[in-house]
């Protein structure tokens, strides 16, 4: 079962809208302040990646219920250039050393589950989940 | 014109000044260079990077003045050998001048003095 | 567990709020150490703090609670930086273990049997500045009284130098000819090295062939620090210089060789520039210093002389070895 809503990312202000959407859903699900901050930071990073590297894309937020567990799923999808070397962007120190922020390893740490699919020239689809404990 | 290079290197928490200055100026394929300081494993990459910008020009004539180089180790030698080989392969010429007796000995022992155009301090000049 | 931490924190905070003593702060400092060891992130600490404040004071102006929420947001990236640091520390440890293994492999790979020849006492020491050694000694000997020694130094140090060194070893192995002349050996290794390495890499090498039948040393050099000959009879030092270009610079390079006759108690001192390029606070260590050191111990066995020279040079440089250090002494006995 899932409820979904999404934000198109075109300008930097859309990052704020995506955060807001994520926070509302997280709050509604009953996530505490710390987890809300983690979820919105993850959304920020993903939306910023779309804004900076793909130009445009979409952040989708879904509420999940699975085996009695409640959770939040963030989907970041774009039709941008894709990521040529996933191993490199998932490496610690790669994005932080350039001052780009927490990067994808940061998103992975902030959330419970993380999956990335990317095809060079076609786009990227990242899914990150956090479960309510 | 001047390419001052005094990078701060953090080493063991102590800030250490990188002791090299490389000034290069090119007019009509004539490269004039003046190098000052120490050329060792720390500073050699700075020198290599600056020289690499010119080494693929056809028929480059380079004259590098080393009279203010107080120390050079084998890493520094490696930079000059690589530069010499690339420039030579493109029909150019490299001359090193103003070598101190310590530097001259280094070139002589390694046999590089035989194949490269080098000139000790005190000889030639203007 | 979180409950336990929350209670402890509330207790420590409460104590401090009542007394503000240094003792309370010290307890807090120790507690923060425990939080770090249990991987409690900064944002969680603030959240715990907020909860403790709520329990102790109940009613506080709204802006106080808002400020804590803001601080939690601010700390998320610090928390990530902390986790990243932990994972990088782990990676560094993995690399350290890998380097140790590589150094062991190198040690085994470059092991060379020291020849036992009548009338020749050999002393030898090779100490890398880092884990991997860019200096190399290779011995080759036969039952006819011939022994060759190669002392090689790859430009630079550490891993790249060590990789390059394996190539020299295999070049020497393929020669496998102990009575070979230095100029031939150097010529062959030069072509091996020239073909295989990039322009800014090169190797210097001294090659000496000792013949115990007539006590002669024939030597050649490919851009290597000249060996030193100590003459016992005249109590004097001379350089064994032979013209020759560094290995790997030009395929056309050719090498000279010369022969010296060794007399009783003469010493042949072979080394890399890690020995001669030492620097103290006052400046460079001149060759004369090395001559003096050898002179002090010239009557002792070769290994003792080598160790003494190393110990003294290390002392002069405050135990800071800048380059790989290799010293070999042949003593005619």
Question: End-to-end distance of chain C based on CA atoms, in angstroms?
Answer: 75
User: For residue B86, what is the nearest residue in chain C, using CA coordinates?
Assistant: C199
pLDDT of residue C156: 67
Q: What CA–CA distance (Å, rounded) separates C269 from C305?
A: 10
CA distance C308 to chain A (A): 45
Query: Is B31 in contact with B83 (CB distance < 8 Å)?
Result: no
Q: Does C253 touch chain B (CB under 8 A)?
A: yes
Q: Which of B88, B87, B22, B10 is nearest to B50 (CA)?
A: B22
Contact B109 C224 (CB under 8 A): yes
pLDDT of residue C48: 96
Contact C88 A34 (CB under 8 A): no
Chain B hits for C243, Cβ within 8 Å = 111, 114
How far from B31 is each of B55, B66, B118, B124, C25, CA to CA, in Å? 10, 14, 16, 18, 65
Beta bridge partners of C259: C218
Q: Is the pLDDT of residue B4 over 50?
A: no
pLDDT of residue A97: 52
Beta bridge partners of B15: B10
Q: What CA–CA distance (Å, rounded) separates B84 from C286?
A: 29
Q: Are strands B93-99 and C279-280 parallel, antiparallel or unpaired?
A: unpaired
Chain B hits for C277, Cβ within 8 Å = 73
User: For residue B114, what is the nearest residue in chain C, using CA coordinates?
Assistant: C245
Chain C hits for B48, Cβ within 8 Å = 200
Q: Is the pLDDT of residue C56 over 90?
A: yes
**3 state SS of A14:** helix
Q: Is the pLDDT of residue A2 over 80?
A: no
Torsional sign, CA C315, C320, C291, C325? positive
Q: Does C135 touch chain B (CB under 8 A)?
A: no
C134: tokens are 């860019």
A2: tokens are 């899932």
Query: Is C55 in contact with A64 (CB distance < 8 Å)?
Result: no
Q: Is the pLDDT of residue C199 over 80?
A: no
Average pLDDT of chain A? Answer: 90
A111: tokens are 């959330």
Query: Is C304 in contact with B54 (CB distance < 8 Å)?
Result: no
DSSP 8-state class, residue B83:
H
Reduced to 3 DSSP states, what percent helix, strand and coil does chain A have, rounded to the nearest 5? 40, 35, 30
Chain C hits for A93, Cβ within 8 Å = 84, 88
Q: Does A27 touch chain C (CB under 8 A)?
A: no
pLDDT of residue A26: 97
pLDDT band at B3 (very low <50, low <70, confident <90, very high): very low
Q: What CA–CA distance (Å, rounded) separates B56 from C229?
A: 44
In chain C, which among 53-82 make CB contacts under 8 A with chain B?
none
> Whose structure tokens read 């909860």?
C51
A45: tokens are 């990073």
ipTM: 0.86
A with C: touching (≥3 Cβ pairs within 8 Å): yes
Q: Which of C26, C37, C28, C36 is nearest to C10 (CA)?
A: C28
Percent of chain A with pLDDT over 90: 71
Q: Is the pLDDT of residue A4 over 70?
A: no
Contact C76 A33 (CB under 8 A): no
Q: Which residues, in sequence order, are CB contacts of C136 under 8 Å at separation 6+?
A: C110, C126, C150, C151, C152, C153, C154, C165, C168, C169, C326
Q: What CA–CA distance (Å, rounded) separates C78 from C41?
A: 8
Contact C199 B85 (CB under 8 A): yes
For chains B and C, CB pairs below 8 A equal 57
Residues of B with CB under 8 A from a CB of C: 41, 48, 73-75, 77-79, 81-82, 85-86, 102, 109-112, 114-115
**pTM, whole model, 2 decimals?**
0.74
Query: Is B42 in contact with B6 (CB distance < 8 Å)?
Result: no
C289: tokens are 């210093």
Q: What CA–CA distance (Å, rounded) separates C59 from C62?
A: 9
Chain A hits for C88, Cβ within 8 Å = 92-93
Percent of chain C with pLDDT over 90: 61
Q: What CA–CA distance (Å, rounded) separates B48 from B45?
A: 5
pLDDT of C85-113, one tens digit each? 999 999 999 999 999 998 898 888 888 88
Rounded to the nearest 10 degrees, the angle between the axes of helix C22-37 and helix C2-19 is 160
Q: What CA–CA distance (Å, rounded) separates C179 from C316?
A: 40
Name the neighbours of C, counting chains with at least 3 Cβ pairs within 8 A: A, B
Query: Is B18 in contact with B9 (CB distance < 8 Å)?
Result: yes
pLDDT of C257-284, one tens digit each? 999 999 999 999 999 888 877 666 666 6
Q: What CA–CA distance (Å, rounded) separates C313 from C274?
A: 10
CA distance C32 to chain B (A): 25
Q: Is the pLDDT of residue B9 over 50?
A: no
Beta bridge partners of B37: B20, B69
Contact C84 A106 (CB under 8 A): yes
pLDDT of C133-153, one tens digit each? 888 999 998 888 888 999 999
CA distance C200 to chain A (A): 28
Residue C202, class by beta-carbon neighbours within 10 Å (0-12 exposed, 13-18 middle, 19+ buried)?
buried
pLDDT of residue B120: 86
Residues of C with CB under 8 A from a CB of A: 43-44, 47, 50, 69, 72-73, 76-77, 80-81, 83-84, 87-88, 91
The Cβ of residue C86 has, within 10 Å, a number of other Cβ atoms equal to 13
Contact C245 B73 (CB under 8 A): no
Q: Which residues, in sequence order, are CB contacts of C198 under 8 Å at separation 6+?
A: B82
pLDDT band at C293 (very low <50, low <70, confident <90, very high): very high
**Cα torsion for C109, C115, C116, C117, to the nearest 10°?**
180
pLDDT of residue A3: 60
**For residue B63, which phi and psi values (nearest 5 degrees)?**
-125, 115
- For residue C145, is it left (φ>0), alpha (ψ between -120 and 50) or beta? left
pLDDT of B34-59, one tens digit each? 999 999 888 998 999 999 999 888 99
């Amino acid at each position: 079962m899932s409820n979904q809503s999404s934000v198109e990312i075109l300008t930097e202000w859309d990052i704020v809208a995506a955060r807001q959407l994520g926070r509302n859903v997280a709050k509604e699900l009953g996530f505490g302040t710390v987890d809300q901050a983690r979820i919105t930071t993850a959304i920020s990073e993903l939306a910023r990646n779309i804004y900076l590297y793909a130009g445009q894309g979409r952040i989708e937020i879904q509420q999940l219920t699975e085996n009695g567990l409640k959770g939040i799923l963030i989907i970041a999808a774009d039709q941008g250039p894709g990521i040529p070397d996933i191993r490199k962007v998932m490496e610690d120190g790669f994005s932080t050393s350039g001052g780009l922020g927490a990067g994808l390893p940061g998103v992975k740490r902030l959330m419970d589950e993380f999956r990335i699919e990317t095809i060079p020239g076609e786009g990227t689809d990242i899914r990150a989940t956090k479960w309510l404990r | 014109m001047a390419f001052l290079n005094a990078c701060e290197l953090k080493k063991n928490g102590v800030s250490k000044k990188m002791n090299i200055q490389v000034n290069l100026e090119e007019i009509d394929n004539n490269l004039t260079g003046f190098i000052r300081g120490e050329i060792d494993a720390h500073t050699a990459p700075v020198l290599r990077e600056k020289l690499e910008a010119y080494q693929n020009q056809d028929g480059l004539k380079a004259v590098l003045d080393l009279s203010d180089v107080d120390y050079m180790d084998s890493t520094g030698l490696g930079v000059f050998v690589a530069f010499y080989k690339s420039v030579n392969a493109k029909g150019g010429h490299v001359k090193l001048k103003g070598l101190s007796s310590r530097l001259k000995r280094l070139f002589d022992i390694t046999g590089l003095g035989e194949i490269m155009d080098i000139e000790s301090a005190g000889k030639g000049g203007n | 567990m979180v409950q336990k931490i929350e209670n402890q924190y509330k207790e420590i905070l409460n104590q401090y709020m009542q007394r503000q003593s240094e003792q309370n702060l010290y307890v807090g400092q120790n507690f923060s150490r425990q939080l770090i060891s249990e991987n409690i992130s900064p944002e969680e600490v603030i959240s715990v703090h907020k909860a403790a404040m709520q329990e102790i004071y109940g009613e506080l102006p709204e802006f106080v609670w808002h400020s804590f929420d803001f601080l939690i947001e601010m700390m998320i990236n610090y928390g990530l930086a902390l986790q990243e640091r932990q994972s990088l520390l782990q990676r560094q440890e993995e690399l350290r273990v890998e380097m140790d293994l590589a150094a062991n492999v190198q040690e085994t790979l470059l092991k060379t049997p020291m020849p036992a020849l009548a009338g020749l006492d050999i002393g030898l020491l090779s100490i890398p500045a880092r884990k991997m050694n860019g200096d190399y000694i290779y011995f080759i000997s036969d039952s006819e009284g011939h022994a060759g020694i190669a002392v090689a130094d790859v430009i630079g140090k550490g891993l790249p130098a060590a990789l390059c060194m394996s190539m020299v070893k295999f070049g020497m192995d393929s020669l496998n000819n102990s009575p070979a002349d230095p100029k031939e050996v150097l010529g062959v290794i030069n072509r091996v090295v020239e073909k295989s390495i990039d322009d800014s890499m090169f190797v210097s090498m001294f090659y000496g062939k000792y013949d115990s039948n007539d006590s002669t040393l024939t030597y050649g050099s490919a851009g290597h620090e000249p060996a030193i000959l100590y003459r016992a009879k005249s109590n004097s030092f001379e350089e064994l210089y032979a013209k020759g270009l560094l290995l790997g610079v030009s395929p056309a390079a050719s090498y000279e060789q010369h022969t010296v006759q060794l007399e009783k108690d003469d010493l042949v001192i072979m080394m890399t520039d890690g020995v001669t390029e030492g620097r103290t606070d006052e400046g460079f260590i001149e060759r004369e210093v090395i001559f003096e050191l050898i002179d002090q111990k010239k009557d002792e066995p070769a290994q003792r002389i080598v160790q003494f020279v190393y110990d003294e040079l290390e002392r002069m440089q405050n135990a800071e070895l800048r380059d790989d250090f290799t010293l070999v002494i042949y003593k005619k006995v």
